[in-house]
Amino acid sequence: MGSSSSSYAPRKIYLDVDGKVQKQVVFSRHCSPCDIRELLCSSSNIPNTAIMVVDPEGAMVSIDPTMPTNCPKDDMFHSVLSQVAEQFNAFHITELKTELTNRLAMLEKRVEEEGLRVVEIEKCKNDLRKLRDEMTLRGGGLNCSCKYSFSDDGKKVTPRRDVPNYPKYTLSQETIEALKKPTFDVWHWEHNEMLSCLEFMYHDLGLVKEFNMNPITLKRWLLAIQENYRNNPFHNFRHCFCVSQMMYGMIHLCNLQEKLTLTDLGILMTAAVCHDLDHPGYNNYQINARTELAVRYNDISPLENHHCAVAFQILSLPECNIFANVDPEVFKKIRQAIITLILATDMARHSEALECFKQKVDNFDFTNEEHVTCLKKVLIKCCDISNEVRPTEVAELWVDCLLEEYFMQSDREKSEGLPVAPFMDRDKVTKPTAQIGFIKFVLIPMFETVMRLFPQIEEIMVQPLRDSRDHYEELKQLEDAMTEAQKKKTENMSLGGEKK
């Protein structure tokens, strides 16, 4: 991109002596009005001399027509000088504007180029993380200890302290509308794009303004969140985004902006973002294996307690504290509410949370704090296990990822002589058998209970669950038919061998 110097037009002054142009003076861009005054004053003693000022296009600059023709020569020169100075200043300001515009354009281009480089760097970093995890798996034995040791105060989450470097994407109106719906396809987005979507959600809901968040701090916090999700098959940053996007969608679908406070919406969104931080990829394994987390939290929701601890360890860093400008007493309530919601995602507490909400749903009072807390616990549970609400082509990929993670856990449990849950055993479970019971006895009852308070979710959330149940039941019938046919074939072959 060229500099402003290439577009500079020289300023010219012509001296007319006896009706003929005798001299042309060209001024450089660095010439000041004082220089012009000095030249004109030095020419004032030449008889029969007229002075013409020409603009960059060659047009003569007019002299003030109100100037009397019979004014003294000195007064005339002073008037001309003043007008020349004004014209020159106008030219100078125009040049400065042009130069500033060009420099801004150059800076914008550099920012764009740097943003593209950042995308490539982030992809390389993700590839390196995957390689590191593969090397760990091949190095003999899986390490299921938590990523951060809280017994050593020197080991803390260390997010980036520089200006966040993921490029900001301008979301199209189509994407903005899609973000508000459960049909959103989370598989088509890179990590940097998901970060920008999360950032947009906080701005769109008014949370940045409500909590007086520094936008740069919000970026740093989101980056720290992303970096503290492991590359597990299922419990990873994409799952975090999936749950957060579903929460954002339910806020719009259920018109929660009109029913809950902005503080409640901030609690819901932040709990969704943080709910699985540093998940090791193993679930109820912790208690049976007596891991460090299980010992630390006395077998009480060890993973969920760990997610909370990592979340607030990140928030304890000034450069990542999105609630830094919130009143300390208000922050205490926000902290406790987020902890309550993240702990509610423990499936061991599923019946407790659902029963609490069932008792209140028919006479629900949005001004009652206890009622609202029960609702928020059920909402985050719905979002956490909402994959089957999405279209089949989106949901089935999540089932594959979850089964992969389950099988990794059950394989390890078998090798260590620990109890194995039947729904995690690769020798016993199939995709249909894994999903039918979960959809029929966990998902549908919970979403139908929420539907009693928000009837508008039936078509877009509950009906897809019923369709998914029917889909997997059909697959189960096909599996059973194939198994039976294979069994008969084996029996026939066995009988044929005996006759021979």
The reply to whether 143 sits in an annotated binding site is no
Is 426 within any annotated ligand binding site? no
Reference 176, options 248, 244, 115, 116; nearest CA is 248
338 burial (CB, 10 Å; 0-12 / 13-18 / 19+) is buried
Annotated active-site positions, please? 235
- 278 vs 262: CA distance, rounded Å: 27
165 annotated to bind ligand: no
Residue 408 burial (10 A CB sphere; 0-12, 13-18, 19+): buried
| The residue to which tokens 């037009």 are assigned | 9
Q: What is the CA radius of gyration of the chain?
A: 36
CA 231/CA 181 separation, integer angstroms: 26
Q: Is 471 annotated as a binding residue?
A: no
For residue 167 the two structure tokens come to: 């490029």
Kindly state the helix (H) or strand (E) to which residue 311 belongs, with its residue range. helix 302-315
If you write DSSP's letter for every residue of 139-200 in order, what string do you get? Answer: TSS---S-SS-TT-TT-------S---SPPP---HHHHHHHTSTT--GGG--HHHHHHHHHH
Give CA–CA dist 433/429, Å, rounded: 6
Q: Is 239 annotated as contributing to ligand binding?
A: yes
CB 325 within 8 A of CB 343: no
* 235 carries a ligand binding annotation: yes
384 is in an annotated binding site: yes
Check whether 29 is labelled as a binding-site residue: no
276 belongs to an annotated ligand binding site = yes
Helices H / strands E in the chain, number of each: 19, 3
CA distances (Å), origin 431, targets 71, 413, 494: 102, 21, 30
For residue 406, give the nearest of 231, 279, 233 by alpha carbon: 233
Which residues are annotated as part of the binding site for AMP? 235-239, 276, 384, 435
Binding-site sequence positions: 235-239, 275-276, 384, 435
